[in-house]
Structure 1
Amino acid sequence: MTAPTLDLVPAADALSDLVAGSRIVAGNACGTPLALLRALGDRAPSAPRVSLTVGLTLGDPGLRAAVENGALGIRSWHVHGEIRGMLRDGLVEYLPLRLVDVPSVVLAHTDVAFVRLGPPDAEGYCSLGPSASFTRDAIRHAGLVIAEISDDVPRTAGDSRVHVSEIDRFVDSTVDMPRYESTTPTASAITVARLVGGLIPDRATVQLGIGAIGDALAAELSQSGASRSIRLHGMVSDPMIPLVRAIAERGEPPVQAVELLGSAGLMSWVDGNAVIEMRDSQSIHHPAVIAGIRSFVSVNSAVAVDVRGQVVAETVRGGVISGVGGSADFSEGAHLSPGGMRIIALASTTAKGQSTIVASHGTGDLVTAAHHSVDAVVTDHGVAWLRGRTAAERRDNLISVAAPEHRDALAADAAALRI
């Protein structure tokens, strides 16, 4: 049996009959359909105006010109790269949204879906590859589904198969898959990771956020997690490969992930490899699902934490830099999990030496996690326990993990605010 032959059309032709007001959603992260987005960005001012809703887009989608000429409007629930720059310039609207709510809030009102797939197999099934968080739901909801096909999409296990009959138009993509490059952990990130690792109980299931501390903790757990039977859940990046291997060698069920965020090496490793199963956000992110996992530990980073325990993770000086993403879903699930824990991990100072433990947040900043939804805050100066502590104890514990040079000023500012 041979793979079906696809009727491939140029990206511009695939978009040529979009009608005014069409609501488009595009695939996410390393599944960002860059060929289709660039074609959307190349549309002339005379083209019917359409709207695009996106999450974490990687690579260079080239959308600015179409937004500036009025052919395109954009909303994003996780701003990054070019989208972040356009938001700063007033060209994009931010959509505060938990990932588990994307199907009901966004996809239920979608007309067109842009997705990135691998070529079909002999049975006519394409692979979603590294991104399954909401793509299958987008395909189900959209009246028009346009897929760019690329040979560099890995064939992943789990709920990542899409039959060619579910796709309306196919585009041959010559754009490389966007990558997510892990960072080299700083000394403070390594220290934070070691402290967080010491809080995680044996046989726990851990969710890690992206960024320097998440990468450092992945490396830490890769060294210590195998002997402690630590499991992963939600997302896999390059530093997590050794831990995934250890889980497979123990004969345990595959790691379930909504996104694979990494390099060409990660994509090559997962191609045809059943140690990771791709699942959608409703299967993995939903708090009711996570609540059924014993000792689920959610570890997320932050921009700043105030002495009340309120967490800012989306904004810097009032400017949006990311999104809510799955952090709220994982945190809520961890709270309901027997033996679960909600951890916020961050360096005690910024690159410019400013304290990330603050007396109060700026008036323009968004509180991503409420003061009652964090069990512990970890910096490179220790662990501040918040669960079960009074407001005064929480304040003192948080000041104690701030950088020493900032503690006196924090205490004075907190007293002035009567905290």
Structure 2
Amino acid sequence: MSDSAAQSGPPHSNITAVLVLDDGTLFWGFGFGSEGDTVGEVCFNTSITGYQEILTDPSYAGQIINFTFPHIGNVGTTPEDMETRKAVSRGLVVREDITNPANYRAETHLTEWTETQGLIGICGIDTRKLTRLIRDKGAPNGVIAYSKTGTFDISALLKKAQEWPGLSGMDLAKDVTREKSEEWTTTNWTRGSGFGTLENAKAHVVAVDYGAKDNILRCLAEVGARVTVVPATTSFDDIMAHNPDGIFLSNGPGDPAATGKYALPVIKQLIETNLPIFGICLGHQLLALAFGGKTYKMHQGHRGANHPVQDLRTSKVEITSMNHGFSVDGDSLPANVKISHTSLFDKTVCGIECTDRPIFSVQQHPEASPGPQDSFYLFEQFMDMILKQKKAA
């Protein structure tokens, strides 16, 4: 059910939620999760599962997620699928009522989980119409309001959506990063055993946390890395004091140019150490900026679990998970940085590598593994670089 701000009354009496876009478009529906209102950039994700991982991915800070798959909730929720300690997205939009869980791993109904996580949700709207709107006009700012009484101040909600500054120029990494350094030794999950623990480390990696997903850290440990995770604003000297064998630059939310104000001077110094460096998502974008490249805001972004990416070095096609609203400008890269991966949807840059240093990065999320293991080799590639460097030393 959609409307305009000029016709601001709900279509019938049992409405309990509304999504207000900054152009005045209204979508009436039914609320779940926490009561109140939340503002953010409205984007869409085409994944048919993994909604708990998506909602707890720090890269979604500042965003309201419209799920294009209509039946959300059938997997339920479990603490094992959290990507960080608490959900960081601003809210969620779904087509149907939340589905009852039908999965042996489910511990909590999604509706109950969203309430405990402080998330505001709306269901019962035409998510296809909303997706087409985002596709045609770009990702708008919007507000979800949930009130059990069905009472809304549409003018105030519209003003809130219009006055929110948007993600361009916004540094959100500082809001989702760890407050202090910590050691990470948890490895990947296996059926029947759960998560494992690293026993024989091959190397020590310092991971700079711009909003790191836990499963990335597990994958690093899975290939033999003892990981020290440090906050996004950690200085070069403090990073090097850990005596790392390699550096990892994590995913994260917001505008890479804004985060780069404090991140780029450190990354440029790290590049000069000749240590192996691996970046994912925001880490990939920051690495490109550190080499002198540029990034830009995408029209609608890439968010889903079926994105084909081609490794230009081997011509292999990987099915990947993506979540990003900014991209690297391939034409801006210097001569010693070449494009290694591209999206087969729109030819945007999905990977770069340095020709004269052991440094590379990718835009997609290899830890999410929708393929299911198409991109895990990237973690192995990083460890091989580290071991080669250690052997040469």
Normalization by structure 1: what TM-score? Answer: 0.29
**Higher strand proportion (structure 1 or 2):** 2
**Higher helix proportion (structure 1 or 2):** 1
Normalization by structure 2: what TM-score? Answer: 0.30
